Amino acid sequence: MQTIRLSRKGKSRTFLEKFIEMVLATRLEFSCSKNKILSYYASNAPFGGNVVGLDAASWRYYGRNANQLSWAESATLAVLPNAPSLIFPGKNHKKLLAKRNRLLNKLYQNNFIDSLTYEVSKEELLPQKPLRLPNIAPHLHNLIIKNNKGKRVKTTIDKFLQEKTNELINKHYNQLKFNEIHNAAAIIIEIETGNILAYVGNTSGSKENGNDVDVIKAPRSTGSILKPILYASMLSDGDILPNTLISDVPIKIAGYTPKNYNSKYTGVVPASKALSRSLNVPIVKMLQDYGLQKFHHRLQKLNLTFIDKPASHYGLTIILGGAESSLWDITNVFTNFSRTLNHFEKYNGKYNVNDYHPHHYLFSTKPPEEKLENFNNISAASIYLTYQALIGVNRPEEDANWQYFSGNNKIAWKTGTSYGFRDAWAVGTTTKYVVGVWVGNASGEGRPGLTGIGSAAPILFDIFNLLPNEKWFRPPYDELTKVPICRKSGMRATAICEPVDSVFVQSSGLKTEPCNYHQLIHIDNNGYRVNSDCEDVNNMIHKSMFVLPPVQEWYYKSTDPTYIKLPPYRNDCESYESQPLQLIYPEENAEIYIPIELSGKRGKVIFEAAHRKPSTIIYWHIDNSYIGSTKSIHEMGLTIEEGNHALTLVDELGNSITRNFVVKGND
């Protein structure tokens, strides 16, 4: 009868209502066991105040599950529904104690407990006031209420991982807050099922610091976190091989001038190193070669929902943080990539297109049905090679702390830092788990030192230390081909390449161009370059050399002491060398704004050139007027009036180059 009355909430206590309750109680008696009826009652009975149900009462008064209560604690809760408004902890203490002890006495008299347990139980104190209900995932709790209001749900959250992740976030927050960094979020996903095992939407704190914002779902500037997607896309489409050399020199594209994080350049860099070191200039060059529109379409196919404007809106900055995404979406991409790679062998080289599905927090969510196809959005081989690049030590912003991130557990990971130090990202994957971390201020305020490597990565690796070590991904050999690769250029080897390595590359990479950096040169016995006009062919020594264009060579030779420049031509030999002279700055048709110095005078513009033979004299001309010459270091600072100008350089061998530019005023 009590169970039925509780189920008919708000009904007036009349004879008719009592009759209805009797009928329903009879039906309940015949359809359910006593234990079942008792469980219904215990789940809905009042336990004082606004506490309803045995589980809630156990947490509210004792801070733990009902099955962990002592005999005295269980007896206390058992007597509460008899008069919940009159007697509950903190009110009518003596009456509650007497009722509890009477129940304990009955348990003893009926041999449910022994005399020692009875005496000890009577000595236990009553709870003085209700405790706060545990809420270890408040932001997920709000999300569940929003999407499942009124429903009883079971989540995929692992209590141990959730509590430990909460502790880690709070530990790091206590350090970050001294730099006025108030928010952080983390998520752990089980790859195979897509289950979310831990969901920390933000740090605990005051609303004025935005701690009630669920950052996992919030759009934030992506920084460098999209770079692995570009690298994998270019591998999958056969545009590059893992170590294809990418230009790393200062560039200016339609007024956009990207820079590397350390403002240094290496001339050329392998694509995998450009990714693992998070170098901006080579990555922008890769995006330009791949195609902005094509990459934008790829991102939309990967369900990055906040990238919803046309490609032209973002431009090339999309790869350096010019777009926004959420930790939810970014980790979902990594989870889908890892799941696809794990299943490649299972499906005998085919793809289950439904392996690309959202992760979830409801235990009842079922994975979509298998749908096998021969092709996929991004090939398994390209994902594998991308992860191989991301295993390497990644130092995108700072070299400090990197040595603490090594261990036996292989992790493919990437950091990101948005412009103005507003967002710090770190995302990593093993074969079984994906972990994502964001650190920053919900208000968008940037802070010095707020970087992915310095702020988010330490949290990422602390979380991975909670997870078991896993074996690394199996190579998808059906999509990998062993081919001879030029070690210097990372491209398919030609007959004159040396040294050559036999390397597994993605099958689509077979359509990439062969190495164009090696040249067959002809020298005499003294090491000078010669040609058939000045030396007998039979007397020539033929030598293969790795040769970079002048501008790339100018930067590269300072970073690689083993690089050997082309030897000069012998004096009696005519040089057929192409483009030994190049201008580094300015770009063609560049618009230059010259600042006014403190003295009130117009400042200088620094022009810069490179020559394959630095000791060559270069003669400088502005608008056909000779202004000077340089040797070895080809830089010149000039004061130039506003207007259109032409800079002409001529070397002592007669090679020349002309560049047009415009000087504009600052008013």
| Closest C-alpha to 127, from 220, 57, 25 | 57
| Structural tokens at position 141 | 């709790």
In the chain, CATH 1.10.3810.10 covers: 2-123
| Closest C-alpha to 243, from 235, 253, 233 | 235
- How many CA atoms does the CB half-sphere of 436 hold within 13 Å? 29
Strands 267-270 and 433-440: unpaired
Q: Give the dihedral of Cα atoms 423, 429, 433, 435; nearest 10 deg.
A: -10
**How high is the pLDDT of residue 274?**
94
Report the distance separating Cα 149 and Cα 145, nearest Å.
5
Torsion angles phi and psi, residue 376, rounded to 5: -140, 170
Report the distance separating Cα 451 and Cα 415, nearest Å.
8
Burial annotation 513-532 (CB, 10 A radius, 16+ → b, else e): eebebbeebbbbeeebbbbe
Neighbouring C-beta atoms of residue 510, cutoff 10 Å: 12
**How high is the pLDDT of residue 574?**
64
- How many CA atoms does the CB half-sphere of 199 hold within 13 Å? 24
Burial of 154 by CB count in 10 Å (0-12 exposed, 13-18 middle, 19+ buried)? exposed
Which H or E run contains 313?
helix 311-314
- Cα 27 to chain centroid distance, Å, stands at 57
Homologous superfamily (CATH) for 2-123: Biosynthetic peptidoglycan transglycosylase-like (1.10.3810.10)
**How high is the pLDDT of residue 396?**
36
Alpha helices in 400-532 (DSSP H): 457-464
**How high is the pLDDT of residue 577?**
59
**How high is the pLDDT of residue 400?**
44
Neighbouring C-beta atoms of residue 28, cutoff 10 Å: 16
Residue 334's identity, in one-letter code, is F
Q: Can you name the residues that pair with 381 across neighbouring β-strands?
A: none
| Structural tokens at position 442 | 């919900």
| Structural tokens at position 134 | 């545990």
**How high is the pLDDT of residue 395?**
38
**How high is the pLDDT of residue 403?**
47
| Structural tokens at position 431 | 């074969």
Q: How far lies 286's CA from each of 80, 215, 291, 320, in Å?
A: 70, 31, 8, 12
Sign of the torsion formed by the C-alpha atoms of 531, 533, 537 and 540: negative
In the chain, CATH 2.60.40.10 covers: 581-664
Across the 667 residues of the chain, what is the mean pLDDT of every consecutive 10-residue run?
A: 77 82 85 87 78 82 87 87 71 84 92 91 84 83 87 91 95 93 96 96 85 94 95 96 93 79 89 93 95 95 94 93 96 96 92 92 88 88 96 50 56 93 95 96 92 93 92 94 95 94 94 94 90 86 90 86 87 70 85 74 84 84 84 86 89 82 76
- Cα 166 to chain centroid distance, Å, stands at 20
Give me the architecture of the 581-664 domain, per CATH: Sandwich (2.60)
Q: Can you name the residues that pair with 248 across neighbouring β-strands?
A: 267
**How high is the pLDDT of residue 95?**
85
- How many CA atoms does the CB half-sphere of 239 hold within 13 Å? 18
Report the distance separating Cα 99 and Cα 82, nearest Å.
10
